[in-house]
Homo-oligomer: A and B are copies of this chain.
Amino acid sequence: MTDHAVARDRIAFLRGLRNVRRFRPDPIPRPVVDDLLEVARWSGSARNIQPWEFVVVRDREMLRALAAAEGYAGHLADAPLGIVLVMHGDPAQATQETWDEGRLAERIMLAADAHGVGASVGWFRPRGAETVKALLGIPPGRTVRTALSLGYPDPAADGPKPGQGRKPIAELVHEERYGEGTGG
């Protein structure tokens, strides 16, 4: 491909990421999981602290138990793979860790999409996070808030959903100063 074609492919790839909540039961091959973890490992973070660890879960009973923790991670129950994000939990860096965790999650979901694997964000409420720590043996001082469900999309279940559109550019972009619309 030409440089231009590569750029176009990459932009279309980034633009096209969508939430996938229903998965086929097929396992995700190890080399694909390794790619996800390698992309995760190379995530940028403030002062390159890399304030994260990952628990990779395939065990069905464990995934069901995690899915039942208080919060919004029910889709883990039927996913072939879950990745629980474990953040360092430095109280002085709470905002920065939250921000870096968003960066990290986005990369993992994109790396999955590069292999045709769909992903969904699961979010634990604080009490659910305590449940998850107990289930997985995560030290109490760590921050657990997010798990990603991963699997090949179930074509029978997923498809364009209502309410998944986005606001138009004109509502989002200001040129030079807030309140000035886009000239584009």
Chain A residues near B (Cβ < 8 Å)? 1, 6-7, 9-11, 13-19, 30, 33-35, 37-44, 46, 48, 50, 52-59, 62, 86, 95-96, 98-107, 109-111, 114-116, 121, 123, 136-139, 145-146, 163-164, 166-167, 169, 171-179, 182, 184
Contact = CB atoms under 8 A, between A and B. Distances in A.
Contact of A106 (B46, B107, B136): B107
Contact of A138 (B55, B103, B178): B178
B103 A169 contact: no
A176 B57 contact: yes
A40 B169 CA distance: 10
Contacts of A1: 1
B107 A102 contact: no
Given A7-B116, A17-B44, 5 more contacts: A43-B106, A46-B121, A48-B166, A50-B166, A54-B173
Contacts of A137: 177-179
B55 A184 contact: no
Nearest to A1: B1
A156 B173 CA distance: 33
A18 to B, nearest CB: 8
A176 B41 contact: no
